[in-house]
Amino acid sequence: MEHIAGVPLPDTTTEEYERVLSAAATAATSLARAEPSKRSHVLRSVADAVDARASELVPLAAADSSLPEGRLRGEVTRTTMQLRMFADVVEEGSWLEAVIDTADPDAQPAPRPDLRRMLVPTGPVAVFGASNFPFAFGLGGGDTASALAAGCPVVAKAHPAQPRLTTAYARAIDEGLRAGGAPDGTFGVVQGTDIGRRLVQDLRITAVGFTGSTAGGRALADLAAARPVPIPFYGEFGSINPVFVTPAAAEERSGTIAGEFLESLLLGAGQFCTKPGLLFVPEQSSIELLVGTAVTDDPFRLLHKGIRQSYFDVSREILEHPDVRPVTASAQADLDDLSVRPVIGVTDARALQQNSRALIKECFGPFGLIVTYTSIAELHATMTVLPGTLTATVHGTDDDPHAAALLNALARCAGRVIWNGWPTGVAVSWAQQHGGPYPATNSVHTSVGPTAIRRFLRPVAYQSVRQEHLPPGLVDANPWGLPRRVNGLLS
């Protein structure tokens, strides 16, 4: 039994586990056959059901997570808009990557048969949601939306930090699936201490979507890779999200940058995977001072005790390093057992380079590290010790002489490069990329946005297959109206 949020989440029994997995395997076949309009209808129906139960779900999520209800209502909107956007994407059909090469008897070096290729669902997908976005990265979040859009059943591992929300959220999703006509077994939830390992190793599971810590995620990724039949593991493991302030930007708008940095850092009590964890500022700038002055002393309630303990451990470890000085001097002792006050430290780029293992660590909660640098060359040298990251940001000026080189260098270690903005806030749109070199993710795909669907698909080619035996997406008449590539040309 998992118990980290005041209320226990009882373990799924072996019988129930078998029922869920076996139903998912059965559902996979009929879901794979369903035409895009049917899948879209299912996604919209789930969105409607979650919206309809929002006023019941939000207080449960708030009780589980200490997150404010306003923020959670926005998250429900994000979640259901995402489901509806994926429904639109499924209908548009380019995600199926349908390609037709008609037979070419004159092809060199050998005649070519009729070949038609399309993506098909991999089969049941295991989804491990995160605790910091109970809705948008939870049971009905991005991974579930992606898998359902692809035509894959989902078996979600419930997060122990959501004991109140889990059953109600799962019921809302289930209602939507039933109303939309999805087959039994399209969605199931399992919970328990060791059930995640079991799920990743289950031969009926064909792919995994995971959002969480590097330690937990890597352990599961290793299990997925070690299976007799390995499966793709799409993990989002953690990120440091460095922000680089050029000398010209610091000169132009130190106050604005300091204020916006704090706003982004403290959003969601600093419990975002896109939190700007490192802020690089010129040595002579006043940003460190401005941040120190402006930072609030108000406490923030964290998601659960585990995150709070880890916040203390990691922030203390960094702050106690001889090359780090505190910018804040907040007492933590007088707080309740879920709350903390912001902690901000400062070090310099040379120290960061020399102590990268000790100082570059993701720390969930309102903790940030300011890093002063003496030259742009030093900044570039520091980049070589940065790990892969979801985002990297540059604050510069209109005619900044260093902007191009910094942005270019940062694209090598980040999935999203930001100019004069902040990394928190991840729009669900076609161009979104939420992922980056390891440990940000362990894949070459995104976990947010429509292209996330590609993770749960594999290609199948049909050679010389008669029209009546082809999937509808590949027959000449194109009854699904898909964008297709025919004999090399997009149509």
CB closer to a copy of itself, 53 vs 341:
53
Give the separation between CA 312 and CA 303, rounded to whole angstroms.
Answer: 14
CB of 8 to a copy of itself, least distance (A): 32
User: Quick one: which of 124, 134, 415, 473 contacts a copy of itself (CB under 8 A)?
Assistant: 415
Q: In the range 428-457, which residues lie near a copy of itself by CB under 8 A?
A: 429-433, 435, 437-439, 442-446, 451, 455, 457
Q: Which of residues 44-63 bind a copy of itself (CB under 8 A)?
A: none
Closest by Cα among 165, 157, 161, 164 to 131? 161
Say how far apart CA 307 and CA 285 lie, in whole Å.
Answer: 33
The minimum distance between CB 228 and a copy of itself, in angstroms, equals: 9
Which of 199/394 has CB closer to a copy of itself? 394
- With contacts defined by CB under 8 A, name the span among 59-67, 167-175, 181-189, 460-468 that binds a copy of itself: 460-468
The answer to whether 295 and 327 have CB atoms below 8 angstroms apart is: yes
Closer of 74 and 216 to a copy of itself (Cβ):
74
Please identify which residue in 13, 55, 56, 107 interacts with a copy of itself, judged by CB under 8 A.
Answer: 107
- Strand order in 207-211's β-sheet? 187-190, 154-157, 125-128, 207-211, 233-236
Give min distance, CB of 430 to a copy of itself, in A. Answer: 5
Under rule CB under 8 A, which residues in 198-227 are in contact with a copy of itself?
Answer: 221-222, 225-226
CA 31 to chain centre: 25
Stretch that binds a copy of itself, among 51-59, 155-163, 336-344, 464-472 (CB under 8 A): 464-472
Q: Are 208 and 25 in contact (CB under 8 A)?
A: no
| 3-state SS assignment for residue 464 | coil
273 is catalytic: yes
70/255 with CB nearer a copy of itself: 70
H helices within 98-191, ranges in order?
142-150, 165-179
Cβ neighbors of 70 (< 8 A, separation 6 or more) are none
Rounded distance between C-alpha atoms, residue 430 and residue 434, angstroms: 11
Phi, psi angles (nearest 5°) of residue 470: -80, 155
CA dihedral 448, 451, 455, 461 (to 10 degrees): 170
Residues 295-324 binding a copy of itself (CB under 8 A) are none
CB of 92 to a copy of itself, least distance (A): 8
Cα 371 to chain centroid distance, Å, stands at: 27
User: Looking only at residues 373 through 392 of this chain, which bind a copy of itself when binding is defined by CB under 8 A?
Assistant: 388
- Nearest distance from residue 287's CB to a copy of itself, in Å? 20
Site residues for a copy of itself, 121-140, by CB under 8 A, read 122
Q: Out of 462, 472, 475, 478, name the contact with a copy of itself by CB under 8 A.
A: 462
Say whether 236 is catalytic: yes
Structure tokens at 48: 């409607």
Under 8 Å between Cβ of 397 and 404:
no
- Could you say which of 87, 127, 414, 453 contacts a copy of itself (CB under 8 A)? 414
Sorted by sequence, the CB contacts under 8 Å of residue 152 that are 6+ apart come out as 28, 31, 121, 122, 123, 124, 125, 206, 207, 456
Residue in the block written with tokens 């990691």: 314
Q: What share of the chain is helix, strand, coil (3-state, %, to 5)?
A: 40, 20, 40
CA distance 143 to 131: 14
444 DSSP β-pair partners: none
Structure tokens at 161: 């930090």
Question: Which range in 155-163, 279-287, 353-361, 458-466 contacts a copy of itself by CB under 8 A?
Answer: 458-466
| Catalytic, out of 2, 152, 273, 288 | 273
The footprint of a copy of itself on residues 472-491 (CB under 8 A) is: 483, 485, 487-488, 490
Q: Which is nearer to a copy of itself, 180 or 415 (CB)?
A: 415
Site for a copy of itself in 139-198 (CB under 8 A): none
3-state secondary structure of 477: coil
User: Minimal distance in Å, beta carbon 229 to a copy of itself?
Assistant: 5
Annotated active-site residue in 236, 288, 362, 413 = 236
- Closest contact distance (angstroms) between CB of 348 and a copy of itself is 26
Q: Which is nearer to a copy of itself, 97 or 323 (CB)?
A: 97
CA distances in angstroms from 304 to 129, 162, 195, listed in the order given: 15, 10, 21
Q: Does 407 bind a copy of itself (CB under 8 A)?
A: yes
**Which residue from 1, 463, 476, 481 is in contact with a copy of itself, where contact means CB under 8 A?**
463
Residues 6+ apart with CB under 8 A from 106: none
Token digits of residue 348: 């310099």
Closest separation in Å from C-beta 131 to a copy of itself: 20
Q: Least distance in Å: CB of 277 to a copy of itself?
A: 17
* Window contacting a copy of itself (CB under 8 A); options: 154-162, 290-298, 332-340, 397-405: 397-405
| Secondary structure class of 347 (helix, strand, coil) | strand
132's enclosing H/E stretch is none
Beta bridge partners of 456: none
Nearer to a copy of itself, 374 or 429 (CB): 429
DSSP 298: -
What is the closest distance, in whole angstroms, from the C-beta atom of residue 94 to a copy of itself in the complex?
7
Active-site amino acid positions: 236, 273
